[in-house]
Amino acid sequence: MVGQTAPSFTLFNSDKKEVSLQDYTGKNVVLLFFPLAFTSVCTAELCELRDNIATYQNLNAEILAVSVDSPFTLARFKEEQNLPFPLLSDFNKEVSAAYGSLYDTFVFGMKGVSKRSAFVIDKNGTIQHAEVLENAGEVPSFEAVRETLNTLQ
């Protein structure tokens, strides 16, 4: 996927407003997929980004986090964790699939849950970094994400 144009999308955020990747043309985007709101690893992962948001802002990057949760679930999760970036609902699983970030079967036999993954998309919409994890207990290398963003300055 690195070097390819990022698949475009429009999803509803936790405020029930549509957000498109095209809205971020001219900006670097860190696009994260995470399995499920309110689970321990997802919460720790997104809170790490929250706590280091200034680092990403200084690297001219916007963060978008996507899961198959409903916008209502994501609104509660965003509020409880005080997350300063959009949470997008891929309830129909189309965007997760387009990015190769969808489990056939996840825990408890759940089908169609987003794989934990991180993509860096440059100002022109090209994927510069991609990491898709099979093990949901692991988190992406945010060091690699920051290094990639650094090269885009």
| 47 included as an active-site residue | no
pLDDT for residue 97: 97
Residue 18 within any structural domain of the chain: no
| pLDDT for the residue 42 | 75
**The length of the chain, given as a count of residues:** 153
Query: What single DSSP character describes residue 81?
Result: H
| Interaxial angle between packed helices 71-81 and 40-51, expressed in degrees from 0 to 180 and rounded to the nearest 10 | 60
Structural domain includes residue 16? no
> Which residues contact residue 56 at a Cβ distance below 8 angstroms, ignoring those fewer than 6 apart?
30, 49, 62, 63, 146, 149
What's the token pair of residue 24?
């971020």
| CATH code where residue 144 lies | 3.40.30.10
Residue 15 lies in a domain: no
> Active-site residue among 11, 21, 32, 42?
42
Range of the domain at 119: 33-151
Tell me the pLDDT of the chain (153 aa) as tens digits. 899 999 999 999 999 999 999 999 999 999 999 999 998 887 888 989 999 999 999 999 999 999 999 999 999 999 999 999 999 999 999 999 999 999 988 888 888 999 999 999 999 999 999 999 998 889 999 999 999 999 998
Is position 42 within any domain? Answer: yes
Residue 17 in domain: no
Query: Distance of CA 130 to CAs 6, 25, 38, 135, Å?
Result: 11, 18, 24, 15
Residue 1 within any structural domain of the chain: no
Counting the structural domains of the chain, the total is 1
The answer to the question of residue 23 being in a domain is no
Q: Flag whether 2 is in a domain.
A: no
